[in-house]
Amino acid sequence: MELTASHSIPLSDGNSIPLIGLGTYTPKGTAYESVKIAIETGYRHIDGALIYYNEHEVGQAIRDKITDGTVKREDIFYCGKVCKAYFLVRPTLEKTLTTLQLDYVDLYIIGLPMAFKVCTHFNVDYIVYYCAFLCLSQALEACKDAGLVKSLGVSNFNKRQLELILNNRKYKYSNLGNVECHPYFTQQNWLEYCRQNGIVIVGYSPLGTSRDPSWYDDLLVSIAKKYNKTTAQVCLRFNVQRGVVVIPRAQPCSHKENFEIFDFSLSDADMKATHRNWKQVDVIAHKRASGHLFTNRCRPSARQLQLIQLERHFSLKKPPHLCQFSHRLANN
Ligand SMILES: NC(=O)c1ccc[n+]([C@@H]2O[C@H](COP(=O)([O-])OP(=O)(O)OC[C@H]3O[C@@H](n4cnc5c(N)ncnc54)[C@H](OP(=O)(O)O)[C@@H]3O)[C@@H](O)[C@H]2O)c1
C-alpha cells in the first residue's frame, strides 16, 4: 500500500491514529511555536504529556490553529499520558484537559508499567507494581466510558506486562503500545507480538533522541545519500514502512524535513540492512525500575518473583485492595 502524509492506522476500537506525529518533550517555552508550525506543515498528531510541563503551550497552539481555520478539533489527534497511582488517573486526565482547554483527548496511555509509591517523588522512588498497573488500566477504561478519551494504550510495557492486560477480559480497550523504536533498536519481536494481537505500535524517540553527535553511522548515511534524503528521513521512513507510527521531536526548522518521508520508499534490501544494523543502546526509559523491559531475559529477583506471584494470585480481585497490598509489600 502506498503511504501518504495523511495516512492513519486503524485501531481495533474503530478510531485511527495518524502515522506521523510530533513529539513535544521540548525545552521550556518552545512547544507553542513547534506545535503551531507543525500543524501548518501538515502534522495532525501531537504526542504530549502533563509531565512535559508544556501542555498549556501545546493546547494554546492547537486552539489557535483551530481558531484561524487551519484545522478543526476533529482533525487533531492528541495523545496524553498518565504515570500515577490508579486513583489519580481521572484527576490527571482532567488536569490535562483543563490545561489544554480541550474537551477530550484522542489517546491516553499509561506512561510506565508501574506506579509510584505513595508519597514519593517522581525521580526518587518507583517500582514495577504489576497489580497497580492493572488498576491504572481499569481507571483509564472508566475515563473512556465517560467520554474524556477516545482510545487507550500503554507505554514501555514488555510482552508479559501487556499480556496481563490483554488476557484479562475486564480490559477491553487497550490497543496501542508505545515504545522506543528506531533503526538501532528495532523492537522486531515486540512488533510481531503486537501485530498478532491487533496492537498498533507508536515508536517514540524515532531519531534515537539526542544521544550523541555520532549517532548515525556510515550505513545510514550511505542509504540516505542513495535516496537523496537525510539520515533522519531514512530513520523515520524505516519505521513507517513497517507500520510503526513515528513521533519525532524537532525544532520547527526540521518539521518539514521530518514530514517529507512519503515521496520515497526504501528497497527491501535497504530495509533489511537497516534492520540488521542494530547497536547496543542505553535505553532511555526507566533503567532504574526493577523488573522492567529487558529484565525479561534475566533471572527475576526474589522480590520480582514475589510480585509476579502476587499479581497472578490476586489479578481477579478488587483493585484498591491490590494496590494497598502491593504498596505495603513494596514498603517492607
Ligand atoms: N512514552 C515515553 O516513555 C516517551 C519517552 C520519550 C519520548 N517520548 C515522546 O517521543 C518524542 C520523540 O522522542 P525524543 O524527544 O526522545 O527524540 P527524537 O525525536 O528521537 O529525537 C529528537 C532529537 O533529534 C533531533 N532532530 C530532529 N529532527 C532532526 C533532523 N531532521 N535532523 C537531525 N536531527 C534532528 C532533535 O534536534 P533539535 O531539537 O535540535 O531539532 C533532537 O535532538 C518525545 O518528544 C515525546 O513526545 C515518549
Catalytic residue, candidates 25, 32, 43, 52: 52
Distance from the CA of 321 to the center of ligand 1, in angstroms?
39
Question: Domain spanning 18-331: which CATH class is it, in words?
Answer: alpha beta
Tell me the pLDDT band of 30, cut-offs 50, 70 and 90.
very high
Q: Does the beta carbon of 210 sit less than 6 angstroms from any atom of ligand 1?
A: yes
* Res. 289 pLDDT band, cuts 50 70 90: very low
Give the pLDDT of residue 314.
44
pLDDT value, residue 310: 52
pLDDT surpasses 80 at 22: yes
- Amino acid identity for residue 119 in this structure: C
Active site residue 53: no
Summarize pLDDT for 218-274 with one digit per residue, the tens.
888 999 999 999 999 999 999 999 999 999 999 999 999 999 999 999 999 999 998
Give pLDDT tens digits for 174-225. Answer: 688 888 898 888 888 889 999 998 899 999 999 987 656 566 788 889 999 9
Question: Across the chain, what does the average pLDDT equal?
Answer: 80
pLDDT per residue as tens digits for the range 57-88: 999 999 999 999 999 999 999 999 986 655 57
Nearest CA, atom 21, ligand 1: 209
Query: Residue 50 and residue 220: Cα distance in Å, rounded?
Result: 34
- Residues with Cβ within 8 Å of 332's Cβ and at least 6 positions away in sequence, in order, are none
3-state helix/strand/coil string of 85-131? CHHHHHHHHHHHHHHHCCCCEEEEEECCCCEECCCCCCCCCEECCHH
Give CA angle at 320 (316, 321), nearest 5°.
Answer: 70
Q: How far is CA 228 from the centre of its chain?
A: 30
Per-residue pLDDT, averaged over 267-286, amounts to 73
Name every residue whose Cβ is closer than 8 Å to that of residue 85 and which is 6 or more positions away in sequence: 115, 116, 118, 132, 135, 136, 323
Query: Quick one: pLDDT at residue 160?
Result: 79
In whole angstroms, what is the distance from residue 134 CA to residue 316 CA? 10
Is residue 204 classed as helix, strand or coil in its secondary structure?
A: strand
**How do residues 82-130 score in pLDDT, each as one tens digit?**
866 555 788 889 999 999 999 999 999 988 776 554 444 444 344 444 4
Atom 15 of ligand 1, residue of closest alpha carbon = 249
Query: So what's the pLDDT on residue 313?
Result: 47
- Ligand 1 pocket test, candidate residues 187, 249, 261, 287, most atoms within 8 A of CB: 249
Distance 309 CA to ligand 1 centre (A): 37
Any idea which residue has 502491593 for its cell?
326
In sequence order, the β-bridge partners of residue 203 are 179, 246
**How far away, in angstroms, is 325 Cα from ligand 1 center?**
38
**Any residues with CB less than 8 A from the CB of 125 and at least 6 apart, and which?**
116, 117
What is the distance between the terminal CA atoms of the chain, rounded to a whole angstrom?
A: 54
Write down the residue that cell numbers 524537532 correspond to: 250
- Give the C-alpha separation, 259 to 233, whole Å: 8
For the chain, the helix, strand and coil percentages under 3-state DSSP, each to the nearest 5 = 45, 15, 40
When pLDDT is cut at 50, 70 and 90, the band that residue 311 belongs to is: very low
Cell 547497536, residue located: 279
Q: Look at residue 267 in the predicted model and tell me its pLDDT.
A: 97
Q: pLDDT band for position 137 (50/70/90)?
A: confident
CA distances, 235 to each of 27, 47, 230, 258 (Å) = 23, 18, 9, 10
